[in-house]
């Protein structure tokens, strides 16, 4: 999703803060790898008597702009295939999409695995395990547990390389037309997927005020932005994406 791309908050932080003010402090102080830290917080929450129902309840509280829902519906109606590539987790993403009634619009969700055990505890795992083969991405901005660019490569390969594509709204379309990509992102790890764009026909939607915008516009590294072949559109509210797509698709 990138968390602040499809939704208007960081789902990882939102859930933990909703569950426990004490665990919220742990998010700001622990040196653990982020996905491992999420799993540890949920472990402690369960040990303290926390319930899965409250976790599921928290997912229904996460804000999703109605205009972003319209973006997804518009793309789907025009034959694009929507996918999510996210450093959140499967349970959170599925829960949010199902709550807003748009899970059926997405053909793929690529993220960290998550599951409920028989005791009702939620477990979150890294997509690339700590003892797994490192992804080795040369971009230098990807998380240890996921390279979104490589995941987009795999997705395009599965779709036969004859599709259109896009990002936290990630979209792939009609066979027989040139590949296009629409990618919506906000974090530095959303830079790598944009290196897969091919031309100004692609659109890279970059959320204002987030780390991705700052990374693209570092004064001492103009080559970072020049490496992006897509047309870059900066946005703040989902309505801006909707207006752009209504005028260009």
Number of helices and strands (H, E) in the chain? 12, 9
Q: Would you give the DSSP letter of residue 105?
A: G
**Gap between the Cα atoms of 193 and 146, Å rounded:** 11
For the chain, report the end-to-end CA distance as a whole number of angstroms: 22
Distance CA 62, CA 29 (A): 24
Q: Please state, in angstroms and rounded to a whole number, the distance separating the CA atoms of residues 243 and 241.
A: 5
Looking only at the bridges linking them, the beta strands covering 181-185 and 231-235 are: unpaired
162 is in an annotated binding site: no
Read off φ and ψ for residue 221, nearest 5 degrees.
Answer: -145, 60
Task: For residues 231 and 62, give the distance between their C-alpha atoms in angstroms, rounded to a whole number.
Answer: 30
Annotated binding residue 10: no
186 marked as part of a ligand binding site:
yes
User: Strand ranges (DSSP E) for the chain?
Assistant: 81-89, 106-112, 114-116, 122-124, 165-166, 170-172, 181-185, 203-207, 231-235
Alpha-carbon torsion, ordered 69, 128, 210, 81, to 10 deg: -30
Residue numbering of the annotated binding site: 12, 87, 186
Residue numbering of the annotated binding site for substrate: 12, 87
Residue numbering of the annotated binding site for Mg(2+): 186
């Amino acid at each position: 999703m990138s968390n602040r791309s499809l939704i208007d908050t960081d789902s990882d932080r939102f859930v933990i803060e909703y569950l426990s003010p004490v665990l919220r402090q742990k998010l700001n102080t622990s040196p653990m790898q982020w996905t491992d830290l999420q799993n540890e917080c949920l472990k402690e929450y369960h040990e303290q008597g926390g319930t899965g129902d409250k976790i599921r309840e928290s997912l229904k509280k996460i804000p999703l702009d109605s205009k972003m829902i319209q973006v997804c519906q518009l793309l789907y109606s025009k034959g694009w295939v929507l996918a999510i590539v996210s450093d959140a987790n499967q349970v959170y993403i599925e829960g949010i999409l199902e709550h807003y009634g748009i899970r059926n619009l997405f053909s793929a969700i690529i993220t960290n695995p998550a599951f409920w055990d028989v005791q009702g505890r939620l477990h979150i795992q890294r997509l690339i395990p700590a003892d797994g083969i490192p992804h080795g991405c040369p971009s230098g901005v990807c998380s240890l547990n996921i390279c979104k660019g490589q995941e987009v490569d795999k997705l395009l390969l599965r779709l036969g390389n004859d599709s259109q594509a896009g990002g936290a709204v990630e979209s792939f379309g009609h066979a027989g037309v040139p590949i296009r990509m629409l990618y919506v992102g906000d974090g530095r790890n959303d830079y790598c997927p944009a290196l897969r764009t091919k031309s100004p026909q692609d659109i890279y939607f970059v959320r204002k005020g987030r780390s991705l915008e700052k990374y693209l516009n570092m004064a001492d590294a103009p080559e970072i932005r020049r490496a992006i072949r897509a047309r870059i559109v900066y946005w703040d509210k989902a309505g801006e994406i909707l207006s752009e797509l209504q005028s260009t698709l």
